[in-house]
Chains A and B, each alone.
Chain A
Amino acid sequence: MDNVHKQVLEVKNLSANFYTSRGLIRAADNINFNVGQSECLAIIGESGAGKSVTALSLLRLVPHPGRIEEGEINLEGRDLLQLNPKEMRRVRGEDLALVFQDSLSTFNPVRTIGSHICETITAHRKLSSAEARDMARCKLAEMGLPAERSFRSFPFQLSGGMRQRAALAMAMSLHPRVLIADEATTSLDVTLQAQILHYLKKHLQECCMSLLFITHDLAAAAAVADRVAVMYAGRIVESGPVREVFRQPLHPYTSALLRSHPSFCPGRLEPINGSPPDLADLSPGCAFSPRCLKGREICRNKVPSLQELWPEQQAACHFHQARKNDLREAAVT
């Protein structure tokens, strides 16, 4: 992919921990990624991999007992972790917007869709309520919804797809710089999903918006993303341009994930043995090592760091890093 993207969102060494009765849970551990202008970064991984916590940390809304431990979240040069609560509120919705998976619970059941959108608009813009209402109707129409009817509807009166589009209309109402879609298309049927992905892609170019697309649906990620980051047990284990990562995955977890998905594996599907690790009780080494076919001694004792193995493609795996060192030594001699 081209390198001309101006970086809009840069996340450095972001860690969010949960202090529970069972001990410390590192739900997001040393997360690094960038999202460029008009670019889409997909974060993929199983449930419990820390994707949603990462999304919420960006907005500084990690629920209790969680806390952002350290790191830097640079949004167009401003470190969000240094802002005071009032400035942070202005960032939410205006610069960084979030769409949730379950649109039924995103909306307050006793209020109309329209009042939600107006609330978001008037929280940031000094508009009269009539102007806000017009703007909200306009946004709903933009998403292909019958503006007047959906504006006056209560959440339960709309179908799941309409509701999700309304949620998207709300998130997009202020033209955020970065949209975080946390499993936003997961609950939709394929045609609707395709429509929404198409709309988002179109919007990225037209409005210079960036998209952080969080999903466990590999096919959707492949369809919409420019780059992809694979998360496992709270860490990013591989990242790179979507085509390279899906064609030639470096991390054993990524390749195992792809081999278990019909869109990427034409033959017989292979399940990943075992189950995702308990985050409160991680092994001292690579979190994937108990399930990894290539696991070695070092994998169980030392956490691999994310290293660039191919141009623009990084992976956190001792196996590949050892091989790369071998190659380098071979080249030197």
Chain B
Amino acid sequence: MNLTASKNNILKLLMTVWVILWVVFVIRESKHGQYETLFKLYKTPSPELKMRELYGGELYDFLVFCSRNIPQGSTYELIGFPKYALNEVRARFFLWPLRQDKKSPDYKVVYSDIPVETKGDYVKQVDFNAKGALYVRKR
């Protein structure tokens, strides 16, 4: 390399610090539980079980139920998910081609720890699990 000796030494020092930090950051990821999740996913055999591992069993099973029991072409509204929550976008993604319609949905998909009141037009179809409930619009 075309470098003066002092610049060469500075760059070597910086590169050494950089490599050390790089290794530290790679190892540090284990603090956030990322590797634990990854190894669980690697051990999980099927894609469905991987999804269940990631979404959480309660949510995943509930979404599977909804996707199978809400007729194609129907619309739904998600209730009980915090705004901008990852679970909310997971649900919309999973349920497609079912479409969300907040104005006048055919179904209300409720997923909440707290009991949710729905307007009188909707009747509870099923309490799927502790958090998940499906409401259908009265005909």
Same complex: no
**Residues of A that sit less than 8 Å from B by CB:** none
